[in-house]
Structure 1
Amino acid sequence: MATWAFALTRVSILLSLPQLSSGFDIDGCTSIIVDGGAMVDGSSVTSHANDCQDCDWRMVYVPAKDHPAGSERVIYDAVWSQYPRIVDPSRSSQYHAAAGIDSSAVLGRIPQVKHTYAMWEGSYGFMNEHGLGMGESTCAAYLVGKGIADGGDALFSIGNLMAIAMERCQSARCAIRTMGELGSKYGFYGEDPGMGGAGEAVTLVDRSGEAWVFHICGGVPSNDTKAAWAGQRGAVWVAQRVPRGHVAVIANSNIIREVDVDDTENFMAHPGLLDLLQEAKLWDGKGRLDWQKAVQPDMATFSYFPGQAPIPMYSTIRMWGVLRKAAPSAGLEATPDLSSFPFSVPVDGKASILDVMNWFRTHYEGTEFDMRYGSLAGPWQTPFRMEGGSGMNSVPGQFARSTSISRTSYTVISQSGISQPRVWFAPDASATSVFVPFFASSLSAGGKFDMEAYGTGSMKSVGFLSKPGTLQPAWWAHDFVANWMNLCYQNMSEQYVYPARDSLQRTVVAAVETGTKHSDNVHDLTELASRLQRNVTEEWWQLAEKLVVRYNDGYFNFPEATPTTVASIGYPAFWLEMIGFDQEFYRPHWFKQSPEPPSLLAASVKEQLGDASKDGTEHHGNDMMSRAWPLRWLGALALAVPVYLAGYRQGQQAARSDSYKLMA
Structure 2
Amino acid sequence: MTFKQKKLSACTSILVGKKATADGSTLIARNEDFNATCPKHFIVHPHKEFEQQQTFVSPDNGFTIGLPKTRGKYTATPEWTPKFGIFEEDGINEYGVAMSATESAYANERVLGADPLVENGIGEEAMVTVTLPYIHSAREGVARLGAIVEKYGASETNGILFSDKDDVWYMEIATGHHWVAQRIPEDAYAVVANQLAIQNIDFDDSKNFMYAPRIATFVQENKLNVSRTEFNFRKIFGTQELSDEIYSTPRVWYGQKYLTPSLKQDPMSEELPFIQRADRLLHNDDLEYILGSHFQGTAYDPLGNADSSTSKKFRPISLAKTQESHILQIRPDLPLEISGLHWLALGVTAQSVFIPFYASITDTHPAYQKGNGTYSFDSAYWRYKLLGILVDAHYKKFGEKLHSLQKELRAHLKTRVHQTDNKAQKLTHQKQITFLTEASYANAQLGLDKIDKLTAQLITESADLSPLNFQIDENL
Q: TM-score, normalised by structure 1?
A: 0.63
Give the equivalent residue in structure 2 for 1:427: 346
Instruction: Report the residue type matching 2:32 in the other structure.
Output: N
Q: 1:200 aligns with which of 158, 163, 167?
A: 158
User: 1:407: Cα distance to partner?
Assistant: 1.1
Partner Cα distance (1:261, 1:250) in 2: 22
Give the equivalent residue in structure 2 for 1:462: 375
SS at match of 1:403: coil
- Which gives a bigger RCO, structure 1 or 2 (Cα 8 Å, sep 6+)? 1
User: 1:374: Cα distance to partner?
Assistant: 4.2
| CA displacement, residues 241-282 of structure 1 (integer Å, 9 cap, x when unaligned) | 111221101100111100001101111111111011223332
Give the equivalent residue in structure 1 for 2:134: 168
Partner Cα distance (1:553, 1:279) in 2: 70
Partner Cα distance (2:8, 2:49) in 1: 40
User: 1:479: Cα distance to partner?
Assistant: 0.5
SS at match of 1:336: coil
Give the equivalent residue in structure 2 for 1:357: 288
Alpha carbons 1:256, 1:292 under 8 Å: kept: yes
Partner Cα distance (1:72, 1:146) in 2: 29
Partner Cα distance (2:458, 2:315) in 1: 27
Alpha carbons 1:139, 1:200 under 8 Å: kept: yes
Give the equivalent residue in structure 2 for 1:499: 404
Partner Cα distance (1:158, 1:479) in 2: 24
Give the equivalent residue in structure 2 for 1:325: 258
Q: Could you say if the C-alpha distance between residues 25 and 279 of structure 1 is closer, same or farther in structure 2, counting changes exceeding 3 Å? A: closer
Give the equivalent residue in structure 1 for 2:266: 334
| CA displacement, residues 416-456 of structure 1 (integer Å, 9 cap, x when unaligned) | 143211100000011111111221222xxxx22212x2111
Structure of larger gyration radius: 1
SS at match of 1:531: helix
Partner Cα distance (2:7, 2:222) in 1: 32
Give the equivalent residue in structure 1 for 2:385: 479
Alignment of 1:184-263 (within 5 A): 184-190=150-156, 199-207=157-165, 209-219=166-176, 235-263=177-205
1:57 matched to 2:12? The reply is no
Matched length: 442
Instruction: Report the residue type matching 1:337 in the other structure.
Output: S
Alpha carbons 1:30, 1:137 under 8 Å: kept: yes
Partner Cα distance (1:414, 1:479) in 2: 22
Give the equivalent residue in structure 2 for 1:117: 72
Partner Cα distance (2:393, 2:7) in 1: 23
SS at match of 2:104: strand
Q: 2:414 aligns with which of 509, 516, 526?
A: 509
Give the equivalent residue in structure 2 for 1:140: 106
Alpha carbons 2:39, 2:382 under 8 Å: kept: no
Stretches of structure 2 that go unaligned for 5 or more consecutive residues are: 78-86, 426-431, 472-476
Q: 1:436 aligns with which of 342, 352, 355?
A: 355
Alpha carbons 1:414, 1:421 under 8 Å: kept: yes
Q: Could you say if the C-alpha distance between residues 449 and 377 of structure 1 is closer, same or farther in structure 2, counting changes exceeding 3 Å? A: farther
| CA displacement, residues 200-255 of structure 1 (integer Å, 9 cap, x when unaligned) | 11111113x20111001223xxxxxxxxxxxxxxx101011111221101100111
User: 1:108: Cα distance to partner?
Assistant: 4.4
Q: 1:30 aligns with which of 4, 7, 12?
A: 12
Q: TM-score, normalised by structure 2?
A: 0.86
Alpha carbons 1:162, 1:179 under 8 Å: kept: no
| CA displacement, residues 131-168 of structure 1 (integer Å, 9 cap, x when unaligned) | 21122211111344767xxxx55421133233222121
Partner Cα distance (2:27, 2:274) in 1: 16
User: 1:400: Cα distance to partner?
Assistant: 2.3
Alpha carbons 2:200, 2:233 under 8 Å: kept: yes
Alpha carbons 1:161, 1:182 under 8 Å: kept: no
Alpha carbons 1:48, 1:411 under 8 Å: kept: yes
Shift >3 Å, 4+ stretches: 23-27, 143-147, 373-378
Alpha carbons 2:18, 2:26 under 8 Å: kept: yes
Stretches of structure 1 that go unaligned for 5 or more consecutive residues are: 8-22, 79-104, 191-198, 220-234, 301-309, 384-397, 465-471, 557-565, 569-664
| CA displacement, residues 633-655 of structure 1 (integer Å, 9 cap, x when unaligned) | xxxxxxxxxxxxxxxxxxxxxxx
Partner Cα distance (2:313, 2:74) in 1: 37
1:408 matched to 2:340? The reply is no
Instruction: Report the residue type matching 2:421 in the other structure.
Output: T
User: 1:351: Cα distance to partner?
Assistant: 1.4
Instruction: Report the residue type matching 1:415 in the other structure.
Output: Q
Partner Cα distance (2:402, 2:14) in 1: 25
Alignment of 1:605-616 (within 5 A): none
Give the equivalent residue in structure 2 for 1:68: 51
Q: 1:538 aligns with which of 429, 449, 459?
A: 449
SS at match of 1:554: coil
Give the equivalent residue in structure 2 for 1:448: 363
Q: Could you say if the C-alpha distance between residues 515 and 323 of structure 1 is closer, same or farther in structure 2, counting changes exceeding 3 Å? A: same
Q: Could you say if the C-alpha distance between residues 56 and 485 of structure 1 is closer, same or farther in structure 2, counting changes exceeding 3 Å? A: closer
Alignment of 1:374-389 (within 5 A): 374-375=305-306
Give the equivalent residue in structure 1 for 2:433: 522
Partner Cα distance (2:470, 2:160) in 1: 50
User: 1:127: Cα distance to partner?
Assistant: 1.6
Partner Cα distance (2:352, 2:90) in 1: 21
